[in-house]
Chains A and B, each alone.
Chain A
Amino acid sequence: MKNLTSWAIIGLTLIFLIGPFIIIIFAGASAGESLAFPPDGLSLRWYLKVFTIESFRQSFVLSMGLAIFGTLAALLLGIPAAYALNRYELPGAETIRTVVASPIIVPGIIVGLALLRYMVIPLDVTVTVALFMAHTALVLPYAVRVVSSSLNNLRSDMEEAAVLLGCTRLQAFTKVVLPNIRGGVLAAFILGFVTSFNQVPVSLFLSGPGVRTLPIDMLAYMEITYDPSVAALSALLAFMSLAIVFIAERLLGFSRYV
């Protein structure tokens, strides 16, 4: 009986977690004209149509670019920050940690509004630049945290050993530290990529005419056209995320770092 109850709980939890995903896959595979579940018959036409919608193609490229370059920029800032926070006794290190983490603590709506009101408008930056800066800031906390935890596992005397063997501090970092936190850096990249790619509230404020990230574009599309293509696209994106995480897990045991 007890066994049965626990299985029931596990089953319900799984349905709760995976259910929406399955609904989306089938809603997108509908043969009908409007978004519905269960679908009116099955066909792949909406999955194919997604690729022909010009605005989706543009916003996909933008989202990809933001996710890749925003995350790279965050790593470029985040790795040295994590290193400094780990290796040196900095005055106010706790404050720095909190400030760095704030973009994920403060609700995205507020971050978006603040960036729009106090940075984008007064500085008059282009929409793309604004989005790039916002995504970098949003990914930074993950970069610092994940890289920090792998730096924690790396003893600092290894760098001293490298220095005594002839390395400069910089060489010690590139030849000894970086190779040993490679897993953490890759994990941070993937986490950052997914976070940036799926980001809605901040992008909502910063998107401008003709420049929209994919999730925002999908929201806009749905307001006008209520066909299953959005469902099909969602399913495709979910598969893409799954594939990335699956490959990462296989290559480097991703779950160890998160």
Chain B
Amino acid sequence: MSEKYVSLRNLTLSYGKTVAVPNLNLDVVEGELIALLGPSGCGKTTTMRAIAGLLTPTSGTIVIDGRDVTRVAANKRGIGLVFQSYALFPHLSAFENVAFGLRLQKMPETEIRQRTEAGIATVGLAGFEKRKPAEMSGGQQQRLALARSLVMEPKVLLLDEPLSNLDARLRLEMRTELQRVQKKTGVTMVFVTHDQSEALALADRIVLMKDGKIEQLGTPHQLYAEPATAFAAEFMGFENIFRVQGENLVSDFGQLPLGFKATSPMLAWRPSGVQVGQGPLSGRVSASSFAGGHREYVIDTALGQIKADAPIETLEVPLGENIAFDLPKSNARQLSA
């Protein structure tokens, strides 16, 4: 098992004169499921296309399984890509879609048949061999696209927003499916997503990207519990992020006294980390909605709006009334910037 199965070294990627990714360094462990997470334009898709060979780097190297593939053509890299749109071949049956790559390798017909059928079975599509992609549901099309890449036994399987085109129920099903297939085949997977819940649920490690740079890299738990920067914190659901100035919390709107001594330049709280109903601070309720297990408040304060989730047992405060709250030290996440 290689710690540097896929290795991106000083990788710079550009479109014309626009540099999308400047000087990226990243190691992917063999057999892991790693997520490139970030908002659109952060360079995650560009990075994925470069690994696939669909985009030639301006500089830097890409090493896969010990071999420098930076200048190797996309069709010779042995990398699979499941496109966001699936990119199935509409004129071919499900069977022929999966067999497509094997046929190019001029494999004996019996082996093609055997591997294709096994691939189709792996993704649970046995019995659908004769269907055309247009006659299959979105979820089935995705499984087919997955099978088409998997039968090639790629060194790395890239997935572009694998769950974004599916409805909520299928998304859950496909998530489990991807994890199962990965366990079964042991293939190294790199997937690109803008949805942090998708990354948290699916990935072994998450690469959070911003402006073509790695903002933070870690396990889902690390990123969720210990975001290092304001950007990472915001992505991980810390909705209340403020600067620290001496004894005070400061925003563009104003300031509030901080009840403890802070050592970091910024502090962040999740809505669930804000204590509601009692505390030294107060603000006016400007929005309030019932969310099942808790009540979501938006509180107008000197810092601007603060989002707070109150346990359902606490007394409901009507709109426009003042509400007491606290930003406790125990729930505060220290951020570098």
Contacts and interface: CB of A to CB of B under 8 A. Distances in A.
Interface of A: 155, 157-158, 160-168, 171, 175-176, 179-180, 182
7 contacts: A160-B83, A160-B87, A161-B81, A165-B149, A167-B75, A168-B75, A176-B89
B101 interface: yes
Contacts of A158: 87-89
B91 interface: yes
B63 interface: no
Contact of A161 (B53, B77, B83, B104): B83
A158 to B, nearest CB: 5
3 cross-chain pairs, A with B, having the tightest CB-CB distances, nearest first: A165-B101, A161-B87, A166-B104
Contacts of B74: 160, 163-164
Nearest to A154: B90
A164 B80 CA distance: 6
Contacts of B336: none
A117 to B, nearest CB: 44
A136 to B, nearest CB: 29
Nearest to B76: A166
A157 to B, nearest CB: 4
Interface string B78-118: 01110101011111000000001100110000000000000
Nearest to B81: A164
Contacts of B83: 157, 160-161
B170 interface: no
A155 B74 CA distance: 18
A180 B90 contact: yes
A162 B100 contact: yes
A166 B89 contact: no
Contacts of B100: 162, 165, 175
B192 to A, nearest CB: 14
B104 A171 contact: yes
A164 B52 CA distance: 8
Contacts of B105: 166
Contacts of A164: 52-54, 74-75, 77, 79-81, 149
A176 B90 CA distance: 9
Contacts of B54: 160, 163-164
B152 interface: yes
Nearest to A179: B91
Contacts of B53: 164
A182 B83 CA distance: 24
Nearest to B52: A164
A157 B87 contact: yes
